[in-house]
Amino acid sequence: MNLSAAPLSHVKVLDLSRILAAPWAGQVLADLGADVIKVERPGAGDDTRSWGPPFLKDAKAQPTKEAGYYLAVNRGKRSITVSLEKPEGQRIVRELAMKADIVLENYKAGTLARYGLDEASLRKINSRLIYCSVTGFGQTGPRRDQPAYDFLIQAMGGLMSVTGERDGRPGGGPQKVGIPIVDLMTGMYTAVSVLAALARRNETGKGDYIDIGMLDVQVATLSNQAMNYLVSGKVPKRNGNAHPNIQPQDVYRCSDGDVILVVGNDGQFVKLCDVLGQPDWPKDERFASNAQRVRNISELSELLRGLFAQWEREKLVAELDAAGVPCGAINSVADVFKDPQVKARQMLQHVPHPSGVDVPQVSSPMKFSDAPLPTLSPPPLLGQHNEEILTELGYGKGDISSLRTAGVI
């Protein structure tokens, strides 16, 4: 065993999924070194390939067929086009499943059973297979057959009810998160689940079936807001940028721009007060403890806003940084990639793309000392690895040509 190899360099993943949640899990596994084979529809591929603009531009500055959305979710994979409606295509998928450790799919409940590619069918030919189905609502319950998207689940799962400015204020009303957070969290839970099943298989020799529902994920990630309700009986409400349990945490305006203040404990509050020239505030019974500050945040915020308005943002941030009080400006996405810390952590990389240009990729945040992650490879072109993968399965050039003529690949 190569101890310096990537953590999952021994793992094969058959990725039958598309859009975002399950493909995100596949990308996480690919980042960790797994061989992820992405099965796509001939001629069309994953829906996200066309979810643009923007599209990647080739060496002649002409738009390719790879949308930014697709490029964000599919690096490190190999692409093969297979028509699941055709018996020959179903046979190819079964052959891939025989060699796979993990299958990811996010078809509507029952769809793959029509093709003999469901969990029960594939585990008959590979008992060690870990098969994970990712859907909007899971494999059971009254909504099991209904499609779902991130936006809908953010609404149904309570996230939008606690996101956005509170009613009665400018801009008040429910808001979705600015990234498809339910899809991404579903992908993360999916990756954790299949890796847990893989670890268990090492002990038992048996595969498993995993049922992931996006609504379940959103309910699970209500976290402190769910428990606030369950403990108190009070329904959480939108509170803008203010934290419901820890204060002061909010956006405050300086003389030349906004700043984020994140006071996480009583000690940090004392340091904040010292910087602001208010050493008596921590002794004030209204503000002496976090619980009291939460109860009296309206009064405290008004005092803070008056003081912050007298400071230049850069100077205040420097003073609070030196004192150990978390604070900072609100960065645009462009600002993020200019940040010295982000640069130092090499969170942006450029990798050669088959179109003749380098494609930017946001790096994996996982960093291993003894098992370095593999060099990033670009998101594949549609069907880029057809011949390579089929050759590995034992197909000859004539076989591959016949499959292409028949519209199987």
CATH of the domain at 303: 3.30.1540.10
Query: Do 76 and 106 sit in the same domain of this protein?
Result: yes
Domain presence at residue 172: yes
Position 1 confidence tier, pLDDT thresholds 50, 70, 90 = very low
CB 266 within 8 A of CB 260: no
Let me know whether 269 and 301 are in one domain.
Answer: yes
Residue 2 included in any domain: no
The answer to whether 24 and 15 have CB atoms below 8 angstroms apart is no
- For residue 125 the two structure tokens come to 């030919």
Q: What pairs with residue 63 in β-bridges? A: 57
Strands 12-15 and 102-105: parallel
CA distance linking residue 187 with residue 210, whole number of Å: 13
pLDDT the model gives residue 376: 87
**Is residue 1 situated within a structural domain?**
no
**Residues 45 and 190 both lie in one domain:** yes
For residue 340, tell me if it sits in a domain. no
User: Both tokens of residue 333?
Assistant: 């996405």
Say yes or no: 354 and 310 in one domain.
Answer: no
Count helices and strands (H / E) in the chain.
Answer: 16, 13
Q: What percent of the chain has a predicted confidence (pLDDT) above 70?
A: 99
Let me know whether 170 and 205 are in one domain: yes
Mean pLDDT of 280-290: 96
Q: How far apart are CA 404 and CA 354, in angstroms?
A: 21
3-state SS, residue 230: helix
Q: pLDDT tens-digit profile of 301-346?
A: 999 999 999 999 999 999 999 999 999 989 999 999 999 999 999 9
> Could you give the dihedral angle defined by the CA atoms of residues 301, 303, 304 and 309, in that order, rounded to the nearest 10 degrees?
120
How far apart are alpha carbons 99 and 85 in whole angstroms? 21
For 208-231, what is each residue's pLDDT tens digit? 999 999 999 999 999 999 999 999
| Rounded Cα distance, 401 and 360, in Å | 34
Distance CA 79, CA 35 (A): 11
DSSP state of 172: B
SS3 132: strand
Which structure tokens are listed for 63? 């738009």
CA-nearest of 209, 53, 186 to 131 is: 209
Of 302, 330, 358, at which residue does a domain stop?
Answer: 330
One domain for residues 386 and 276: no
Among 140, 141, 137, 226, smallest CA distance to 182 is for: 137
Active site positions, annotated: 183
Q: Is residue 240 part of a domain?
A: no
Beta bridge partners of 333: none
Residue 287 lies in a domain: yes
Write down the pLDDT at residue 118.
97
Whether pLDDT at 2 is above 70 = no
State the residue range of the domain holding 308. 249-330
Query: Do residue 115 and residue 202 come from a single domain?
Result: yes
pLDDT in tens, 143-152: 999 999 999 9
The torsion defined by the Cα of 144, 147, 152 and 156, in degrees rounded to 10, comes to -10
Inter-residue contact 17 to 37 (CB < 8 Å)? no
Q: Which residue has the tokens 């996200």?
A: 48
134 shares its domain with 41 = yes
Closest CA to 7 of 33, 35, 37, 36: 33
51/139 same-domain check: yes
335 inside domain: no
Q: Indicate if the pLDDT at residue 199 is higher than 90.
A: yes
The DSSP bridge partners found for residue 57 are 63
Total count of domains within the chain: 2
What are the phi and psi torsion angles at 20 (to 5°)? Answer: -135, -50
Same domain, 159 and 299: no
Tokens 């609504």 sit on residue: 215
- Domain end, chosen from 281, 302, 330, is at 330
What average pLDDT score do residues 283-304 get? 96
Establish if 229 belongs to a structural domain: no
CATH assignment of the domain containing 111: 3.40.50.10540
Q: What is the pLDDT of residues 20-67, one digit of tens each?
A: 999 999 999 999 999 999 999 999 999 999 999 999 999 999 999 999
Q: Count Cβ atoms below 10 Å from residue 2 Cβ, excluding itself.
A: 8
Mean pLDDT of 244-271: 94
User: Same domain, yes or no, for 266 and 392?
Assistant: no
b/e string for 270-295 if b means 16 or more Cβ within 10 A?
A: bbbbebbeeeebbeeeebeebebbbe
Q: Give 329 or 131, the one with higher predicted confidence.
A: 131
Q: Give residue-wise pLDDT tens across range 162-197.
A: 999 988 888 889 999 999 999 999 999 999 999 999
pLDDT at 4: 60
Token duo for residue 116: 């003999």
**130 contact partners, CB below 8 Å, separation of at least 6:** 101, 102, 103, 194, 197, 198, 201, 207, 208, 210
- What is the bridge-based pairing of β-strands 102-105 and 130-135? parallel
Task: Report the 10 Å Cβ neighbour count for 110.
Answer: 11
Q: 36 and 172 in one domain?
A: yes
Q: What is the reported pLDDT for 73?
A: 97
